[in-house]
Amino acid sequence: MDGRDTDLKKELDATLRARHELGDEYEPALVDSFLEKVDRRIDDAVERRVRRQLAEQQLAAARETRSPDGSDSWGERFGFGIVSLVLAVPLSAIGGGIGGLPGLVTAWLGIVGVNAVQAARLHPGLFGGRGRRGDGSGRED
């Protein structure tokens, strides 16, 4: 029995003593007063539970929006794309100049491969794999 239960029990005992002292004509008012106190306690308990559940849902939603390592930012993705394009020019020139068309194709396969790995790291379900739900359902959000 916690503190709230003992408080409620004391309230009930006080209500019953008051009914005994005041008589039957005050019984409806005493019962209504006691029920109002019970209603307030129930409302408070429900409100606490709802607030706790909302906080848990907000925390879960915040965790789901983060990347696996917490570094998935727009700036990181943009920077990675810019670096890929900047490096694509000399790699294309070197690959095409030394190896001809097969060298150029190899250079671009490498560029595309690195970008695909980065995209798969940031978005695990992007290439048809299982999502990151973690519940075993295989469905993505």
Tens place of pLDDT per residue across the chain (141 aa): 566 678 888 888 988 898 888 888 888 888 888 888 888 888 988 999 999 999 988 888 887 766 555 555 777 888 888 888 888 888 889 988 988 999 899 999 999 998 888 888 877 777 776 554 544 444 544
Cβ burial, residue 54 (10 Å; 0-12/13-18/19+): exposed
Domain residue ranges of the chain, discontinuous segments joined by +: 3-64, 72-122
- Spatial separation of the C-alpha atoms in residues 57 and 31, rounded to whole Å: 38
Whether residue 92 contacts residue 104, with contact meaning beta carbons closer than 8 Å, is answered with yes
- Predicted pLDDT of residue 69: 52
Look at the chain and count its residues. 141
- Predicted pLDDT of residue 130: 56
- Predicted pLDDT of residue 121: 81
- Predicted pLDDT of residue 66: 60
- Predicted pLDDT of residue 141: 45
Query: Who's near 19: CB < 8 A, 6+ residues apart?
Result: 26, 27, 30
Angle at 10 between CA 7 and CA 16, to 5 degrees: 145
